Chains A and B, each alone.
Chain A
């Protein structure tokens, strides 16, 4: 039931771009994206709802294709601060309950 993320790890030089993908075998209500630094709590980046709207924050944006049950996170001109593990979370409504499950994560390393 967990979404599947790809790739599992990415190593970039500062200024390069990256794409992280998230796919689910189940119909989705929404997709969340979070970043976690080592030993810390995940921090919210953005949420995408049904309707395919693309959202963005500075140089990080994401898209959600509900028909394909996929989402992608785009990091443009990466900065050192972007390093961390990125998780997508998929939300499903099951008998009125809100279930939020996460993928296995994508570790992003940005080198100077």
Chain B
């Protein structure tokens, strides 16, 4: 079945560590996105990408980095520069360019700093 997979589901990080969240899709989508969700809050855009080897900063990119070496993969690294990384992270993908482009979400990764 086609879909978008995030791993791990839960992640614990010690202060000062970098951690990488995985996002893989087999929908053949060009566009991929990373969002951060804090309790009771909306979805804030971290990074987005339209094509391989190209990505743009979203509204809250500081302390995060991404790569897009393959069409199906868009990993997010939460660096030690992110001062408050505890949150629920959602990855999404969509077809690019048609206009009628529903976004499909992964099940999310809940990151906790310990």
**Which A residues fall within an 8 A CB radius of B?**
1-2, 5, 29-30, 32, 34, 40-44, 47, 49, 87, 89, 91, 94, 96-105, 107
Q: Is B48 an interface residue when CB atoms closer than 8 A count as contact? A: yes
Could you name 16 residue pairs across A and B whose Cβ atoms are closer than 8 Å?
A30-B99, A30-B101, A32-B102, A40-B108, A44-B102, A44-B103, A47-B100, A98-B31, A98-B50, A99-B48, A100-B92, A100-B94, A100-B103, A102-B45, A104-B42, A105-B41
Contact residue among B31, B48, B100, B105 (Cβ-Cβ distance under 8 Å from A42):
B105
Contact residue among A1, A29, A32, A96 (Cβ-Cβ distance under 8 Å from B59):
A1
A42 to B42 CA separation, bound complex (whole angstroms) = 11
Asked if A47 and B107 make an inter-chain contact with CB atoms under 8 angstroms apart, the answer reads no
Asked if B99 and A29 make an inter-chain contact with CB atoms under 8 angstroms apart, the answer reads yes
Point out the residues of chain B lying under 8 angstroms from A47, CB to CB. 100-102
Report B88-114 CB contacts with A as 1/0, cut-off 8 Å.
Answer: 001010101101111111111000000
A1 to B57 CA separation, bound complex (whole angstroms) = 13
Asked if A104 and B59 make an inter-chain contact with CB atoms under 8 angstroms apart, the answer reads no
Q: Is B44 an interface residue when CB atoms closer than 8 A count as contact? A: yes
